[in-house]
Amino acid sequence: MAAITYDRATVQYPGAERPSVNALDLEIADGEFLVLVGPSGCGKSTSLRALAGLEAVADGTIRIGDKDVTHLPPKERDIAMVFQNYALYPHMTVADNMGFALKISGMKKEETRKRVEDAAKILDLTEYLDRKPKALSGGQRQRVAMGRAIVRSPQAFLMDEPLSNLDAKLRVQTRTEIAALQRRLGTTTVYVTHDQVEAMTMGDRVCVLKDGYLMQVDTPRNLYDKPDNVFVAGFIGSPAMNLIDVDLDGDGAVLGGRSFPLPRATMAALAEDGSKTATLGFRPEGVRLVGEGEGFPFEVVVVEELGSDAYAYGTMHTSRGTEGDKLLTLRVDARKPPMKGEIIHIQINPDEAHAFSASTGRRVSGDAAPAPGGGATRVSQA
């Protein structure tokens, strides 16, 4: 087990116009479960493969523990990877799949067998040890892939969307199991997913990537409560945060013909680059219903009832007609949801509102200290 460090690591595929991973700075603590998350094509797999030694690092360094592995071949890095499609050896039995690494490392047969059986017990695979991967279900194959990683007791586990080939129910169950297994083994793990729910539920910390740039690394809680920028704000959370482009007046944002006051520090920060506009963000649960005449009018277009929760989708008019027509999401009382077409009045909780600079996309609300090590310098609006 070891800590992992990306030190301004850049990866560019041959023939590609721009790097797929740009000067990635990331420190992963020993034993940590770190999740790389971001939309498809943002460079998650590439970052992971660079760490595994499957892609060449063009610039910067990668260290595992104290060892600089930037230019070492995969087999000298002592890490195990779980692939999206599992990459099981189709011609080998489950036991041979799991024991392959040990076997070629010259481990004694009995010792290999014992380790494989131990791992199989943990993963509930004992009765399948003599089967070929073809004769297993998706979930079982996934577990074999996990088993292949854990029998080696490597420095780190790398997992590239290991759950994306499972059905929804199994995915939820397996993600808990993987997280529990990782805590039990205490092996440093880098886990790639495009699913922010997976990221939030599994990671000790979550690293959000976009277009090859690091957007923010933090605990799930902090990502949710204090997103560094518009992109993270819109990406983390389901349903997503409401983001509205607003005009600024003297002491706040103009919303529905009224002013939504913003803290003075925020206004000062927003005014710094002389901009008259900003992006206002609030989560679906960051509002409360108020009586007519108070707050902002909100026209309900669709209501989604999920049992424990209900969400109302609708429009709120800002000073700019077009922007205001974007559907916003509110969490409403599941027992008494508003009717479709109804006009309700809402107030945004001031301490749950976020203001983002229109020019940089960075959050400037209250405590908006720039995130440490945030490699992102430019963030376009999502």
Partner 1 sequence: MTIKILNAIIAVVGGVLGAIVLYWLLNKLAELLPGRWEDRVKPYLFLLPAVAAISLYLIYPAIQTLIYSFANKNSTAFVGFDNYTSLLKSQNFQNTLFNTLLWIIIVPAAVIVVGLLIATLADRLGPRGEKLSKTLIFLPMAIGAVSAGAIWKFVYAVRPPGQNQIGLFNGIFTGLGGDPVNWLQLSTLRFNSLLLMVMLLWMQAGFAMVLLSAAIKGVPTETLEAARLDGAAEGTIFFRIVVPQIRTTLITVFITVLIGVLKTFDIVYVMTNGRSKTNVIAVDFFNQLFTNRNNGNAAAIVVMLLIIMIPVLVFQVRQFRAEEAAR
Contact residues toward partner 1 (CB under 8 A) are 52-54, 73-75, 77, 79-81, 83, 85, 87-92, 100-101, 104-105, 148, 152
According to the binding rule CB under 5 A, does residue 318 interact with Mg ion? no
Q: Output 161 or 228, the one with its CB closest to Mg ion.
A: 161
Among the residues of 229-286, which ranges form H helices?
230-235, 264-271
Q: At what angle do helices 138-150 and 168-185 cross, to 10 degrees?
A: 10
Q: Is 188 in the site for Mg ion (CB under 5 A)?
A: no
Measured between alpha carbons, how far is 67 from 240 in angstroms, rounded to an integer? 40
13 makes contact, choosing from partner 1, ligand ADP, Mg ion, none, with CB < 5 to 8 Å by partner type, with ligand ADP
Q: Which does 40 bind (CB under 5 to 8 A by kind): ligand ADP, Mg ion, partner 1, none?
A: ligand ADP
CB of 244 to partner 1, least distance (A): 44
DSSP-H helix ranges across the chain = 44-52, 94-104, 109-123, 138-150, 168-185, 196-202, 220-225, 230-235, 264-271
Instruction: Let me know the angle formed at the C-alpha of 175 by 206 and 136, rounded to the nearest 5 degrees.
Output: 135
Between 119 and 209, name the residue whose CB sits nearer to ligand ADP.
Answer: 209
Cβ atoms < 10 Å from Cβ of 172? 14
List contacts with ligand ADP (CB under 6 A).
Answer: 13, 16, 20, 38, 40-46
Closest separation in Å from C-beta 170 to ligand ADP: 22
Q: How far apart are CA 378 and CA 29, in angstroms?
A: 27
- What letter represents residue 268's amino acid? A
Is residue 194 within 8 Å of residue 38, measured between CB atoms?
Answer: yes
Nearer Cβ to ligand ADP (83/313): 83
Q: What share of the chain is helix, strand, coil (3-state, %, to 5)?
A: 30, 30, 40
Q: Could you tell me the smallest distance in angstroms from the CB atom of residue 261 to ligand ADP?
A: 40
Phi, psi for 236 (deg, rounded to 5): -90, 130
Q: How far is the CB of 41 from ligand ADP (least distance, A)?
A: 4
Chain centre distance of CA 202? 10
Amino acid letter, residue 269: A
Integer distance in angstroms from the first to the last C-alpha of the chain? 37
CB closer to ligand ADP, 43 vs 338: 43
| Of positions 5, 20, 45, 188, contacts Mg ion by CB under 5 A | 45
**How many CB atoms within 10 Å of residue 294?**
10
Q: Taking CB within 5 to 8 Å according to partner kind, which of ligand ADP, partner 1, Mg ion, none is near residue 148?
A: partner 1
In the complex with partner 1, the residue whose CB is nearer, 55 or 228, is: 55
Cβ atoms of 200 and 206 within 8 Å: the answer is: yes
- In terms of CB distance, is 36 or 136 closer to Mg ion? 36
Query: CB 262 → Mg ion: shortest distance, Å?
Result: 39
Q: Distances in Å between the alpha carbon of 90 and those of 79, 85, 128?
A: 22, 12, 14
Give the binding range for Mg ion (CB under 5 A) out of 37-45, 60-68, 96-104, 314-322.
37-45
Amino acid present at 67 = K
CB of 85 to Mg ion, least distance (A): 11
**CB 10 to partner 1: min, Å:** 21
47 binds Mg ion (CB under 5 A): no
Closest CB to ligand ADP among residues 43, 99: 43
Query: Taking the complex as a whole, how short is the minimal distance between the CB of residue 56 and ligand ADP, in angstroms?
Result: 11
